């Protein structure tokens, strides 16, 4: 059975003390308020990973926002999968639209990063999604299928079982716009069908697919109630403990 997951992406926000303080708040609030089986993940800047990893619990995991595809070497400013693993993190966000747009990350490069992530026992949160232009031109299914095929469909079924997917319509990230529940569900269903066609119906049924794109406490319930939406990759709302927990609590049993 697939997991319900709410993952926070702090992006390039919060200094060291602010990050540790926020994570501590989240851990305590999860302990007091979460009664479901949902998993909570916080993907922080690298400076926080060691310290928040010490505060992580069985209910709240940590993750990095990126890794380099190489094992180690002369890559100034980068972080390796082994380094991320060594501080207790369990997840890595890969393929976020901001990495694709601002840093030129290609599907081929991301496939290498996926391989390195899995090699070190980390779980990729692999992001896919279309731009506003691609949606308006009706090409979004083709774009998403290509991102899946080039980024993760080279994996064996066993390897793919460790992958969490996140559909993030690029036009809804940081814009205040949100895909309607029907639009999001349509794409999530397509992603699940694509997984079934590549691997099996069982693999598709067991794959967690998150929605990312201006998800907030007001719209999370309607989004997460869709059949193929298993949680969210949360940006801005993850920087406020109350907002983040209200999203997490949508899955309270």
SS3 string of 161-206? CCCEEEECCHHHCCCCCCCCHHHHHHHHHHHHHHHHHHCCHHHHHH
Other Cβ atoms within 10 Å of 55 Cβ, number:
16
Give 216's contacts (C-beta < 8 A, 6+ positions apart): 236, 237, 243, 247
Query: In the prediction, which pLDDT does 177 show?
Result: 75
- 188 as an active site residue: the answer is no
The reply to whether 212 sits in an annotated binding site is no
pTM of the model: 0.97
Query: In the prediction, which pLDDT does 23 show?
Result: 98
pLDDT over 80 at 132, yes or no: yes
Distance CA 186, CA 220 (A): 16
The reply to whether 236 sits in an annotated binding site is yes
Query: In the prediction, which pLDDT does 1 show?
Result: 83
Query: In the prediction, which pLDDT does 253 show?
Result: 67
pLDDT over 90 at 178, yes or no: no
Distance CA 44, CA 182 (A): 30
The DSSP H or E segment spanning 6 is strand 5-9
Other Cβ atoms within 10 Å of 136 Cβ, number:
11
* Tens digit of each residue's pLDDT (9 = 90 or more) over 3-15: 999 999 999 999 9
Cα 232 → chain centroid: 7
Domain count, the chain: 1
Write the DSSP string, 82-129: HHHHHTT--EEEES-HHHHHHH---HHHHHHHHHHHHHTT-EEEEEE-
* Tens digit of each residue's pLDDT (9 = 90 or more) over 239-250: 999 999 999 999
The reply to whether 36 sits in an annotated binding site is no
* Tens digit of each residue's pLDDT (9 = 90 or more) over 41-59: 999 999 999 999 999 999 9
Q: How confident is the model at residue 66 (pLDDT cuts 50, 70, 90)?
A: very high
Fill in the DSSP letter of residue 239: G
Among 39, 96, 130, 134, the one annotated catalytic = 96
The reply to whether 235 sits in an annotated binding site is yes
Going 236 to 239 to 240 to 244, the CA torsion angle's sign is positive
Phi-psi region of 79 (alpha: psi -120 to 50; beta: other; left: phi over 0): beta
The reply to whether 174 sits in an annotated binding site is yes
Cα 221 → chain centroid: 18
The reply to whether 80 sits in an annotated binding site is no
Average pLDDT over residues 129-141: 93
Query: In the prediction, which pLDDT does 56 show?
Result: 96
Distance CA 172, CA 146 (A): 20
What CATH number corresponds to the domain at position 14? 3.20.20.70
Which domain, by its residues, includes 119? 5-251
The reply to whether 11 sits in an annotated binding site is yes
- 168 as an active site residue: the answer is yes
The residues pairing with 232 across neighbouring beta strands, listed in sequence order, are 6, 211
Distance CA 134, CA 234 (A): 23
Among 39, 98, 134, 168, the one annotated catalytic = 168
């Amino acid at each position: 059975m697939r997991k319900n997951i709410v993952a926070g992406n702090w992006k390039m926000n919060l200094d060291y003390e602010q990050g540790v303080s926020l994570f501590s708040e989240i851990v305590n609030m999860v302990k007091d308020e979460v009664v479901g089986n949902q998993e909570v993940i916080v993907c922080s800047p690298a400076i926080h990973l060691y310290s928040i990893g010490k505060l992580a619990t069985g209910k709240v995991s940590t993750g990095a926002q990126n890794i380099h595809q190489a094992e180690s070497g002369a890559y100034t400013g980068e972080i390796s999968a082994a380094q991320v693993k060594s501080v207790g993190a369990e997840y890595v966000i890969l393929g976020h639209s901001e990495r694709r747009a601002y840093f030129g990350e290609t599907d081929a490069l991301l496939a290498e990063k996926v391989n390195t992530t899995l090699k070190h026992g980390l779980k990729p949160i692999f992001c896919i999604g279309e731009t506003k232009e691609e949606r308006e031109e009706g090409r979004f299914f083709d774009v998403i299928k290509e991102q899946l095929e080039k980024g993760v469909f080279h994996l064996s079924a066993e390897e793919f079982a460790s992958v969490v997917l996140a559909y993030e319509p690029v036009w809804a990230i940081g814009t205040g716009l949100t895909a309607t529940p029907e639009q999001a569900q349509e794409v999530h269903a397509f992603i699940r069908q694509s997984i079934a066609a590549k691997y099996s119906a069982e693999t598709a049924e067991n794959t967690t697919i998150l929605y990312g794109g201006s998800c907030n406490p007001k719209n999370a319930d309607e989004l997460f109630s869709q059949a193929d939406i298993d949680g969210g990759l949360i940006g801005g709302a993850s920087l406020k403990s109350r907002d983040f927990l209200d999203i997490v609590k949508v899955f309270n049993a």
